Every structure is written in C-alpha cells, then in structure tokens.
Amino acid sequence: MAHHDDRSYDGLGNHIYLEKQDKLRDIGIDIQTSQIVVVGNQSSGKSSLLESLTGFSFPRGQGLCTRYATQITLRRHPTSRKVVVSIIPRSDADPELKEKLRACRKEYSEFDGSELPKVMDIVNKTMGIRAGAANDDPNLPMFSDDILKIEISGPEQPHLTVIDVPGLFQVIDEGRTTQADRVMVENMVRRYMENERTIVLAVLPCTADRATETILEFAKAADPKGERTVGVLTKADNVIEDAVRQTLLGLIKGKTLKLGYYIVANRGADDNHLDIAACRAKEKALFTKPEWSQLAATRRTGVEALRSELQSLLTNLAKQELPKQRTELAKRLEDCHKKLEAMGPARESPASQRECLTKLSSQFERITRSALEGRYNASPVFDEKPGLKLITRVVGMNEVFADAMWRRGHTRKFANANDSLWVFKEEDGNSDEPAMPSDAQTPAARSEEVLASIAASPELHDFFDYPTTDNPEPKDSIMDHIAECYRESRGPELGTFGGALLATTFREQTKKWPSMVHGHVAEVIAQVHSFIKKLLEAVFVDEGMREELWETVLLEKLLEAYRRAIGHADFLLNIELNGTAMTYNHYFNDNLQKAKLARVADRARCVGITDHGIMIEPDRLESLAVNKSNADHVKEELHDILKSYYKVSRKRFVDVVCQQVVGYFLLEGEGSPLMILRPELITTMSDAQLDLIAGEDHGTRRERERLKTEIQGLEEAMRVLRG
C-alpha cells in the first residue's frame, strides 16, 4: 500500500488488550473503548501528527477530512491487505438516512493516497455537506456529526484506533462557516474528549500562546486530573529564535500538564514528495542539531518518543479499563435479560397471551402474599419500592385509628362524682389514659401520604367525603348533657331510667364514629390502591399491557371491592350505634362496680391514717353516706353505665372494623381488592380480551427484537473480554 511504513508499529501498545478494544468496536455495541483522539485548532498541525502516528497520508487540500470526525482503525491481519472506507451515522439520524449512510462503503485491496480526494468528495455528498469548493451549495452545512471510518488492515499494522476531529476555530469565515458551525464543532470535540477511555492529544503549535489556547481549557474540563491528556507541540521546524526554544524547554520540563508535553516537526509544503520514513528521518536530523540539544535531552522530541509514551499510556489505560468494561457489560446484559424476561414470551396467539398473563398474575399474587405476611426478604422489589411494605403501613394506620377512637372518639368527657375527669384501672389492665400513637405513623404524616395517593388516583375521590380521624379531643362535660336528657326524657320510674335514655346518650357520645370510621377505611383503601398500582408497575413492565389490564378489567372490580368494604363498615356502624345495647363481656359489670367504688373513694378523703390503721371520726362517718335525690342518683347511675358500656363497645367496634373491614374486606378476604388479580381471573378471559390486553403491538415487537439483538452483541462482547 502507498504511504505506509512497514517497520514502526510492532511496539505501539499491547496488541492483546488493544485487539480486544478493536473487536468491541466491530461488534457495534454502545460502549466506550480505549482510543486516541487528536484535538486542536485549525492549522495546528493535527493532520501531520495523525499521519505520523498512523502511517497513513492524508491530503492537505482545503476542506478535506476536517468537516467531521475521522476514525482511523488499524488492525493486524496475517495475510489480507485492504482499506475499507465507510460512514458511521450520527445517533439522531432518521432510519432512511442511516441506511443511506451505511450504504456508502468502499473497499480497496490497494489504496493510493491520490484516490482519497475522490473518496472524500463522495463522502461529503453522501453526508450532505459542502466540499469546500467554490461551486458548493451555500444552503448545505459545513460540518456533520456523522463519522468517517477508515479501516486499514495488513500484517504490519498495529491494533490501534485514532480519532481525528475537526479543528476548533474562533474566526467566522463569512460565506463558509457560521456561529452555529463553531458551536457544533466545539460540542463534538468535547464529546470525544469526555470519554474516560480516550487519551487526549492536545495539539498546538510551538509558537502558540498557551494562556489563550481554547483546546487546553477543553482538556482541563474533560480531564481535570490530567490523567489522559498529553500536550503535543507541533511545527518545531518553524522555530528559529533561541528564546522560543528556551520557553519550550521550560514548558516540557515543567508540570503544567501531568503527563507533560512532547515536541514534533511537521511535514512542510516542500515535503509532499517524501514518504513517511523520509519525513521521520528529517525530523530526527532536526532534533540532533546543536540548538535543539537541550530539548533532545528531555527524550520528549520527535514522533518516536511520543509513540513510545502512547504505547505505555494506551496499554495501561486498556488494562485499567478492561475490568470496568466487563462490569459495565455484565450489568447491561443483566438489565436486558430482566427487561426481556419481564416482557414474557412472544404473545402472538391466545395460548401464548394467556400463558404470559398467568405467569405475571402468579408473580403478582406471590408478592402480594409476601407483603401481607411481612416477608419482605422474599423479593427485591420491597427494597426497590418501600411503599410495597403493605402490612407494615396498614398495621400502623390501624394503630392510629385505635388511638384516635380512644382519645377523641367520644363527644364529651366522662366525669367523676364531683363532675371532673377521673381515671381508674379497668379490669383488663388498661387505663382510661389513651395509648400513645405508633411512632411509625401519625395522623399528619399519614394525611400527606393519603393526599399523594388521592392526587394520583382521581377514581378514589368519592371515597374521601369524610373528615380524617384527626378530630379534636372532647372538652365539654357529659354530666350537663345527661342532666338535660334526663329532664327532657324522664318517665314515671322510681330510682331508675328507661332504656331509651341510655340509647339516646350513647348515640350522642358516639356521633363522631361514622366520620372517623369512614375516614380510616378510605385511607386504607388509598394505601391498598397505591400498593396495587405500584406492584403492577413492577410486575407488568409492558406499559400498554398494564394500562389495558387496568382500564378494562381491574379498575371496576377494585372500586366494587372498595364499595363492599365501605358497605360493611356502614353495617357495623348501624348495628353498634342503632341496635340494642348488648354485651356479655364481664368487664362491663366489673368496670361499673369500679366506677361506683371510685365515687365512694372520692368521698372518703376525710379518712385519717394512724399507726394502728385507718381511722374515721364518728361524726364524719355519716358524711360518707350522702343522701341524694332520685334524679341525682339516676344521673350518676346513667353516667356510670354509659361509660362502662362505651368502653366495651368502643374496643369491640375498633376490633371488628380492623378485623373485618380492613383485614377481610380490604386485605385477605376472598373478594378483597388484593385477591382480584390471580391466575384464576386469567382463565375466565375470552380470546378477544386476551388479545386486547396482552397482544403485542408493532412497538413491542420491535423492542423485543432490539433487546434480543443487544443481548447477542453484549454476550459476544463478554466473550471477547473473557478470551
């Protein structure tokens, strides 16, 4: 082949590591590979440097190889010698354009550099950009994000990829370049430099003012630690003044770049007739002259020294990045398998559609059972979505409800004989003092979560027409109300009262129960609804399938299940509040007796205690037996019965609401919303329903094929890295 030096590439990088990088690029998967990118301003000497590194001569005609990134891939082949020129389309090109660009492919068994201008002209036209000629269409862009790939193979070639990107420019050439062109080139250069597996060769002429060099600013931004950037000073053959050489010496010996600078000579205008070997010999002769002796002593002069440094850097980078590439590919492969598995088998027939839905519904049922039993280690989804820890949330909500009923469920405060609050231990060991709310939830925290769930689920709005359980604690005394009821409802009974009076006062004392119960049940409904939607998202990853299943099958069944739960809550309220007061719980009598004893104890505060025990003065003993009117006696008796029965009723009611409405109707019962989506439901679906829900559209089929193709490429890439 023309313009190649057959002797100088054997040591450029460790071919085992770099060959792996070449193979990764050949596979065509989207992964950053170890490579070299040559960056600099226009006319900085990039093309000459690139030519020296690759052994491939580029023409220096105006507009050639400067309008797009050029990827030069060198690969060693024991027998074949060829050059393949092709175009890698930009990622945002439409399918038709991508096909057109990929079709532009030329293969040469022998390639003379004189043919390159013709090839570039074809490439420019295919990309749809100007070629730099006077008769160019001014409406065409000057630059392209497409990539020109030149692949050179032969027995003398190393395994190496070098990227040449368009040179930066500050001055807009009227009629040729625009501000948009300048920004486009800068973004392209930054994109290549930011690849952490790229060695950046920052090219600038020896005579450039480094304080104002844009390319050095770009390099610092892309590689802050300076671990990948090598400075290359070009056009040493144009340096005449000793002062400039001294400045260059200080720069090369200094630490302005962590990896330092190298200095090279460029092929001059009179050297076009020289081949690569002759140009290198001329460069070597330049740096052996006396005036360059100090710089030559740094061993950082000439392309050969630069190549030696690149050998070390590229090999070390490839070795360093190989484990990271394995990890990255393994993670991507795992993600692709998960996505493909979540899509299930191809769903083209009713049988395959039923099989897919049955499998997913079984998974949904299994995770739901774990959520109800608190076995959060049964699936990683509980760590990924903490909101799925359902039973923990519901138990906390039940505790808050029970505490609210205990603290604020009664309309008025119960009183003692002196019409003030009093406390006594109940027979079952519980005090009238309310339990502290669970630290897992408070009404305020719960309301925020519920509001979020309602906002995301407008279909639940009808269930939230009730105030929350965050009602104020009662302050009014019950005794005045009992007295008023007695005055308005007393009958001819002597020393007692009718059952209607107890029913009236009980209904008054429990009139907050309906709103509190409805509020609690609605909040649990919101929690269950949120759980179902989140779990559907985790299990049914196909959005189209999930939405069809939700809209056509699940939603109405869920709302009906919620209405059944509300209906049962109303049933329990009606029995408890409007039915006959009834209890066989012995705690009722025990607490009633304790209430009476408490009244006696309250009056016995005149009791004295001596060393011989309790002493009551005879003239004060009579005061313990306070004579009361029939009315006062009845009011106290009614209060004590009401209070004792209220406690029994409240505990019983809270238990049955939590057990039946929440536990059975909303969580674990046969008709609960959590038991709707099961494999049994899928067996009842018609073929038309199956196709509507699980049938694959064109987008799904295309995504399935894309995942299969990506998995195939990733698996091949993993074999390359492991080989």
Q: Where are the domains of the chain?
A: 15-330, 359-595+631-684
pLDDT of residue 167: 83
Q: Express each pLDDT in 178-225 by its tens digit.
A: 788 888 888 888 988 998 889 999 999 988 877 778 888 999 999 998
pLDDT of residue 366: 96
Q: Which residues are paired to 263 by β-bridges?
A: 233, 301
Q: Which has more confidence, 291 or 457?
A: 291
pTM: 0.54
**Is residue 424 within 8 Å of residue 432, measured between CB atoms?**
yes
Query: Right CATH number for 15-330 from 3.40.50.300, 3.30.1960.10, 1.10.150.20, 1.10.10.10?
Result: 3.40.50.300
pLDDT of residue 493: 57
The pLDDT of residue 372 is above 60: yes
pLDDT of residue 407: 86
pLDDT of residue 439: 45
- Consecutive H or E run containing 714: helix 698-722
Q: Which residues are paired to 431 by β-bridges?
A: 425
Q: DSSP label at 471?
A: P
The 3-class secondary structure across 168-182, one letter per residue, is ECCCCCCCCCCHHHH
What b-and-e string marks burial along 536-572, b requiring 16 or more CB atoms within 10 Å of the CB? bebbbbbeebbebbbeebbeeebbebbebbbebbeeb
Between CA 247 and CA 103, with CA 51 as vertex, the angle to 5 degrees is 140
pLDDT of residue 77: 79
Read off φ and ψ for residue 352, nearest 5 degrees. Answer: -70, -35
User: What region, left, alpha or beta, does residue 45 occupy, with left being phi > 0 and alpha being psi -120 to 50 degrees?
Assistant: left
Residue keyed to tokens 């339990």 = 435
Helix, strand, coil percentages, rounded to 5, for the chain? 60, 10, 35
Provide the 3-class DSSP secondary structure of residue 663: helix
Mean pLDDT to the nearest integer, 400-420: 76
**Is residue 559 within 8 Å of residue 459, measured between CB atoms?**
yes
User: What region, left, alpha or beta, does residue 480 occupy, with left being phi > 0 and alpha being psi -120 to 50 degrees?
Assistant: alpha
DSSP state letters, 114-162: GGHHHHHHHHHHHHT---S-TT--TTS-S--SSEEEEEEEETT--SEEE
DSSP state letters, 664-700: IIIIISTTSGGGSSSHHHHHT--HHHHHHHH---HHH
Mean pLDDT to the nearest integer, 106-115: 76
The pLDDT of residue 29 is above 50: yes
pLDDT of residue 113: 65
Mean pLDDT to the nearest integer, 165-173: 77
pLDDT of residue 320: 87
Cα–Cα distances in Å, from 174 out to 171, 178, 554, 625? 9, 7, 65, 115
Least confident segment among 119-123, 136-140, 564-568: 136-140
- Consecutive H or E run containing 504: helix 499-509
The end-to-end CA distance of the chain, in Å, is 32
The tokens of 698 are what?
Answer: 């064109």
Q: Express each pLDDT in 266-309 by its tens digit.
A: 876 666 677 777 887 888 888 888 888 888 888 888 888 888 88
What's CA 348's distance to the chain center, in Å? 32
| Cβ-Cβ contacts under 8 Å for 312 (sequence gap 6 or more) | none
CA distance 21 to 473: 73
CA distance 476 to 408: 12
* Burial of residue 268 (number of CB atoms within 10 Å: 0-12, 13-18, 19+): middle
Between CA 201 and CA 205, with CA 203 as vertex, the angle to 5 degrees is 160
CA distance 602 to 624: 10
Percent of the chain clearing pLDDT 90 (strictly above) = 27
